[in-house]
Structure 1
Amino acid sequence: MAPAITLAADAPTLSAANTGFMLICSALVMLMTPGLAFFYGGMVRVKSTLNMLMMSFISLGIVTVLWVLYGFSVAFGDDKGSLVGWNSDWLGLSDIGLTELWGTTTIPLFVFSAFQLMFAILTPALISGALADRVKFSAWALFITLWVTVVYFPVAHWVWGEGGWAFDLGVIDFAGGTAVHINAGAAALGVILVIGKRIGFKKDPMRPHSLPLVMLGAGLLWFGWFGFNAGSWLGNDDGVGALMFVNTQVATGAAVLGWLAYEKIRHGAFTTLGAASGAVSGLVAITPAGGAVSPLGAIAVGLIAGVLCAMAVGLKYKLGYDDSLDVVGVHLVGGVIGSLLIGFFATGKGQSDVAGLFYGGGLDQFWKQCAGVFGVLAYSLVASAVLALLIHKTIGMRVSEDEEVAGIDQAEHAETAYDFSGAGGGAARTPASSPVTPAESKKVDA
């Protein structure tokens, strides 16, 4: 059959509605990084709170600059050997017209670049949760710089760039199960195997210092995730973005129930930390799958992820690796679960006509998902460990033992999250530092 002729009138034109929608989604994804900062910040001890917040916030600065300089070109430029992209016109985002469209979409290339930038910012920030309490801030900043260059930008091209090997293979990853969550989770595992455990791991209590902050962070992540997931269809002219929006909510709710049910049976209580972690596990698992499954399938994905991720977080105590805030147990395991379940629950009626095993499609898609999952996992694990080892052997990755015990906030940032110097009220005051007003003097005398 002769190829169809595309007339000029049929060419895509800029849509103000889709452009506005994608700008909002980009802002929502940006909000996820501060949300992650609060989520992680509440989970650590008081003496590490600011450092945890800063490990997320610094990604906003470093990755933004690198993305403009060369990151967008490497991730989404013209394919080079199915491994990286490159387009010299995109260096510095310089030779791009304001109304130039992204591919066959109806949104400007600038908007697509901004949306994908927010993904690039969030992904290395996810890794930080595994490294709490013990990493030099300067070493972390260097690691982010090297990691997004060597790992994230190329992997994004594999999965989403036209010509990338996973893209051409037919691996389904709607919004980042492999490129974001498996990538970050495997990287976290690689780094912690290099830098070792926290002082006092499995001996000292290391409970979250502020569960309200954890819940606030989880709520911000849940909210921002609608932009992360629904926005990844780059518009909603055919309803797939709306399907993803609904499935995001459904799977997350189901994962909360699954995690809490496991927790009650296993430990005898429904905890707020469990509810927050369950929500994140559901968000992670539905991220690759939400455009391919039905809402009933989303319930299954969420329940399975909630239970299995809750089980997985305990492995660090059995296997002896110190994943401080359960990045491996939630993001790596959740990403693997969501990506592989596409091979079973894909309906063939969502983002594509690919059907999974339960819908008559056999195991063909499952094996493709396995290739994508384990290819990204292996590369990120090894490359991240090598980068961490190079930094560890040169400038040093960890703070000193004394600094870790005393508190990384004071050592690295010369600040503390909370000022307790005024605890106890008036008894703590001195005439020199806190002058007493006449009114207060009368009250004291009385």
Structure 2
Amino acid sequence: MNRNYTVLDGAMGTQLAMRLGPGADAQEAALCNPDVIVQIHREYIEAGAQIVYTATCDTNRFNTGRYPIEETMPAAVRLAKEAGRDKGIPVALDIGSTGKLIGPYGDISRNRAYEAFAELVRAGRGADIIAVETIFDLKELRVAVLAAMEHSDLPVYGTMTFTDAGRSITGCTLQCFALTAQSLGVQALGLNCSVGPAGMNNMIGVLAGWTDLPIICKPNAGMPDPETKKFNVGAKEFADLCARAAESGATLLGGCCGTDPGCIAELSERLRSTRFGRPRAADTSRLICSDSRAADAGAGEFTRAFSSAAAAEALRRRDYAALAETAVSLEGDALIFDIDLLDSPEEAETLIEEIQCIVNTPAIFASEDESMLSSALRAYTGRAGVMTSAGSASGAVRKYGAVII
């Protein structure tokens, strides 16, 4: 038996819809139909799942329905634990997207999103792992992962959903996702939902080139028929295609929308004879990135963002939109932001968020003030570079996985 992999479970939502009817709600089921959820978990475990995810992917304060999170989250953890208790199956607290765009021009602020995720982590105590998944925006992934790590000591997994083009719907690249997630300290990263296993295979290979971490692969069972709602990839085909993802570098494999215990049983059996592959990942120790562009901090050309007369005037007026406009026109592999010229850590956060709305050039923050540096790195979406005399002794540099220039 090949033991280089871990089998994850499959879909919960589509299984609930089959058993409780269209529109079945996992939050309601956790309280009103708990036996159904336990049965689904047990069927996945019997099929070979070695980790089960709680039925909470859609649970958050923006989608609570009739039942409070303080009741539904603990119930979901308890049911997953009950299902796997005899076999000692670990339970992953499933935290999904808020469904909101985060930022100055989005639906909610970064702080509000953080509190929403922190609330889920606190309410879901008792799990063994925290799995942040089905995220389409790198900013939201960072916020969710930080909330998980700052409110729990559990290992954190992070998966995003990408299109067949190899980008998320907000433009995040696979490379920037890998660089950012691993810089935060996740235990595993990967892909789930959006596409079927055929579309995910090549993307797994790309991810494997940018990280040494375990890679998660949880594709859909293809696409649903518009009329019948039945997904178009059967269990055997699903397993065969996932095995190719394992050959490309995936080590934690399961299913998302449309998959069922039959898919997981076929996958578990197929992986027994799969030859796992793992290309050597590139050296990423000097790479910095935004959500869609990366640069080598050891060999790039850098431009100071506040050096022009227009930028200096915009900075004097604290016109962040104008500062962002001047940054768009600057050339270079990365932009250096002298954030000590700002008045406060809060101002640094505001500036970084404003600039990242329209500028995708990777950032380097120059500062001798630890609080300014910490605020800038916390607000930044991606993996930033840092110029500071504190070097690796900086707590902010260590916490956010920044690159010392």
Fold equivalence (TM over 0.5): no
More helix by share: 1
- 1 or 2 for the larger relative contact order (CA 8 Å, sep ≥6)? 1
Larger Rg: 1
